[in-house]
Amino acid sequence: MQNVIKSIKEKKGTLLDVRSVMEFKENHIPGAINITLDTIEANINKIAEMQKPIVVYCLSGGRSAIATGILQQNGLQEVYNGGGIFSLNNIINNN
């Protein structure tokens, strides 16, 4: 996961926020793209074209785990569950 975080810090990957639009507007990691969990399957082709690695996050890690599973089951590789926004943001900013 260290290499994945390094890629994200170097802007060589995608941060995917699967929280609601309202949650995203309130607070998100700079540069993240918001595609809500309930629209993940409808956006698989769009997500497949995003720069890899893709790190998926939400508020606590539950929705991001579901989204990561859906993406992986649909053949996407280099997709990782980043967990919750606050812990992921700390990892990105402190490593």
Q: Return the amino acid letter for 87.
A: S
Strands 14-17 and 33-34: parallel
Number of domains comprising the chain:
1
Q: Return the amino acid letter for 39.
A: T
C-beta separation of 93 from 69 below 8 A: no
Q: Return the amino acid letter for 32.
A: A
Domain residue limits at 43: 2-94
Q: State the pLDDT at residue 5.
A: 81
Q: State the pLDDT at residue 10.
A: 83
pTM over cut 0.85: yes
Query: What is the distance between the alpha carbons of residues 46 and 30, in angstroms, rounded to a whole number?
Result: 20
Q: State the pLDDT at residue 8.
A: 84
Pair of tokens at residue 19? 């929280």
pLDDT in tens, the chain (95 residues): 778 888 888 889 999 999 999 999 999 999 999 999 999 999 999 999 999 999 999 999 999 999 999 999 999 999 999 999 999 999 988 86
Pair of tokens at residue 28? 């998100």
What CATH number has the domain bearing residue 43? 3.40.250.10
Pair of tokens at residue 94? 């402190």
Q: State the pLDDT at residue 3.
A: 84
